Amino acid sequence: MTHKIEIIDRDAEVEAEEGQTVLNALLEGGVEWMHACGGFCNCTTCRVKVEEGMDNLSDMQEDEKNTIRRFKGEEKLEGPFRLSCQTTVHGDIKISEPQWY
């Protein structure tokens, strides 16, 4: 089963296999997306802002929470932000690239 990831601020769209990480789907779909640590949850460069479809993503695990907390602060855990290397797809979503710098 495949799902659609729409990148609204880039006017692009890729397909994701059920359970595939957002980052892997983007890269396999030909979308360049920063991921400085190589997808090992050691930075926040692969972050995405979930515009629609948060319920179609995996729940945030402790590693992801700790990394976001460490680099960006507790308040970012309450927002629509996820690390694409840690987030798996289970339905259609719309994302954008947040400006955290």
Residue with the two structure tokens 């779909």: 29
- The whole-angstrom separation of Cα 79 and Cα 36 is 22
Tokens representing 24? 């892997």
- Residue 99's pLDDT is what? 81
Which SS3 state, helix, strand or coil, does residue 46 take?
Answer: coil
Is the Cβ–Cβ distance between 84 and 97 less than 8 Å?
no
- The whole-angstrom separation of Cα 100 and Cα 12 is 21
- Residue 100's pLDDT is what? 61
Q: Which residues pair with 81 in a beta bridge?
A: 49
The predicted model scores a pTM of 0.95
Q: What is the pLDDT of residues 3-33, one digit of tens each?
A: 999 999 999 999 999 999 999 999 999 999 9
Classify domain 2-46+53-94 by CATH architecture.
Roll (3.10)
Is the Cβ–Cβ distance between 90 and 58 less than 8 Å?
yes
Q: What is the pLDDT of residues 31-77, one digit of tens each?
A: 999 999 999 999 999 999 999 999 999 999 999 999 999 998 898 88
